[in-house]
Structure 1
Amino acid sequence: MRREPDEVPAERARLLAASARLADQESPDLNRVREVNRRYRALLPDVTVACSPATGAPVTWPIDVFGLDGMFWDYESPVRRPSSTRPPDWLAMTGAMRLAEPVEHPPFAVVPGPEVPFVVPRVLGSPGVRAVIAAVPVGRHTGWAVSYFGPRPEGVRLVNLWGTNTYPKYRESGGGGWDWAVPRVADYDFELSPWLDSGKLLWLDATSLRSGTSGCPFVDLPGRRRITVIRNGQVQHLASFAGHGAG
């Protein structure tokens, strides 16, 4: 059932409470767990994270933009549904986030990325690959999604899907699988201006695709150039993060 936008936060709160109660049970009803997760997935709003560099068509992704305590942001076991507007040349989507107090501390690890947006040169530097950066507020926090498009780079490991420890691999013939990459800031480039000026990196201004550094609000932003990890009631800023799940 499609809910009105103003009804979503209350329903989300009910589902998070139900999920927490089930998690506290020694032997939770798995059918009930699946039902709560199904309803949670269904209420995730489709957020515009990019426009296709090839066609200009909007690319949306179902994201929990209400806060980091939602199961969408569970680093190891995220509860999500796939994008229904992912074009054939979509490669990856990563992201960054500057946190604002108070920070949510759910019972699972949350890895929203560094406090500053970045690109991954091994991916973006590949022939024919371009990326799009867009602002994606999440609750009180400031987030940015960076989506990559183009031909699949040969022999190049991609980058984990924003907030998770794996990334999807799609085949042109259909189907696919999953792989993973260890997040390391040494593999990131936070200096966006050269990528913007080269045309390899584009940016979203509301729903319009823009190029170049002129007027771009994503250049030279302040913040830690470390990977933010929220777990066990603490917020850490790490150079790499390989000790929790695959990534």
Structure 2
Amino acid sequence: MTEDPALERTRLTAEANRLRARAFELRRAGREEEAFPLWDRIDEISHWYRGMLPAVTVARCPETGEALSWPIDTYGLDGNFWAYDATIRRLPSSVPPAWLAMTGAMRLADPVEDTPFRAVPGPGVPFVVPRILAAPGVRAVLGEVPVGRHTGWTISYFGPRPGVPLVNLWGTNDYPVYVPGKRRGWATAETGVTDCDFDLAGWLESGKLRWIEPGDESASLREGADGCPFLDLPGDRRIAVVANGSVRRVAAIG
């Protein structure tokens, strides 16, 4: 292994993608046994990849002030963290007791990565999900997370569990259920653009939505719309689906 995790990630991700493509070719040709060593190597790389994901501070609990760090592949969309249908991730070792969910959005920069899978980084501007945030006692925190040359945003929800479906983890098709602060299982929720509110000013002024200044290493929570850099950002309100070096936009993802 090299000392530079970014270079090692690039090399091993490319190797795993090549091996996976070859393994599927062998399967289609009825030569499954020849693919067994390839899958063993892919598993080895996946184990390393999962462990090297950097923990990024994405929010601070509005109730307790506890920082929330999440392991995210911030190097680019070509890592299997972003594989929508077969993600490789690890969950945080702990979350604040009031944590509910984390979704996200991303402004894509050209050219996008040539991914051999579907990556679904969300709409091109940050948003909130009113069915969650409107619930009594629920608040959200918006933060910025660079992902390679792209600009990502996380939206984390905290508070008492509402009586509505939550929202899938950023870039995936399900979400972990914590009650409270302890993982109890998994669930899934379909969320399309009609479930999202991109007009953040009212949520900011109400105190339901707080934000972290980009680049603020202290991750201090800020309130109100004045000075918020996430208001009225230009970008597509549809959900991006990245695959094979191209992007298409959809109203909902299944």
Same fold (TM over 0.5): yes
Partner SS, residue 210 of structure 1 = coil
The runs of 5 or more residues in structure 1 that have no matched partner are 243-247
SS of 1:137's equivalent?
A: strand
> What corresponds to 2:6 in structure 1?
9
TM-aligned CA deviation for residue 105 of structure 1: 2.1
Unaligned runs of 5+ in 2: 27-34
- Whether 2:226 is the aligned partner of 1:217: answer no
Q: Is the 8 A contact 1:61 1:84 kept in 2?
A: no
1:133 aligns with 2:142: yes
Partners of 2:175 and 2:83 in 1: CA distance: 14
Q: CA–CA distance in 1 between the matches of 2:145 and 2:235?
A: 17
- 1:94 is matched with 103
RMSD over aligned Cα atoms: 1.6
Aligned residue identity for 1:83 = P
SS of structure 2 residue aligned to 1:209 = coil
1:180 is displaced (CA, Å) by 1.2
Q: Which amino acid aligns with 1:185?
A: V
Contact persistence 2:190–2:253 (CA under 8 A): yes
> 1:76-87, aligned counterparts within 5 Å?
76-87=85-96
Work out whether 1:198 is the aligned partner of 2:206.
yes
**TM-score for both structures, normalised by structure 2:** 0.89
Mapped pair 1:230 → 2:209: no
* TM-score, reference length from structure 1: 0.92
The structure 1 residue matched to 2:131, chosen from 122, 128, 132, is 122
Shift of 1:34: 2.1
Tell me the distance in 1 between the aligned counterparts of 2:18 and 2:184.
34
Please tell me whether the aligned partners of residues 174 and 188 of structure 2 are also in contact (alpha carbons under 8 angstroms).
Answer: yes
Which letter does structure 2 place at the counterpart of 1:65?
T
Q: Could you tell me which residue of structure 2 aligns to residue 189 of structure 1? A: 197
**Counterpart secondary structure, 2:146:** coil
1:43–1:9 CA distance, 2 compared to 1 (3 A): same
Letter in 1 for 2:97: P
Question: 1:31 corresponds to which residue?
Answer: 40
Distance 1:173 1:222 in 2: 35
1:142-221 alignment, distance < 5 Å: 142-154=151-163, 156-172=164-180, 174-205=182-213, 206=216, 207-221=219-233
Query: Residues 175-217 of structure 1: CA distance to partner in whole angstroms, max 9, x if unpaired?
Result: 4221112231000000000000000000012111100011110
Aligned AA (1:129) = V
Q: Is the 8 A contact 1:60 1:84 kept in 2?
A: no
Secondary structure of 2:147 counterpart: coil
Identity of aligned residues (%): 57
Q: Please, which moves more after superposition, 68-77 or 82-91?
A: 82-91
Match of 1:240 in 2: 252
Determine whether 1:52 maps to 2:61: yes
Q: Is the 8 A contact 2:96 2:181 kept in 1?
A: no
- Which residue is 2:81 aligned to? 72
State the distance in 1 between where 2:185 and 2:239 align.
26
Give deviations 1:99-149, integer Å, cap 9, x for gaps: 001111210000000001000000011111100000001010011000001
Counterpart amino acid of 1:61?
A: W
Aligned length: 238
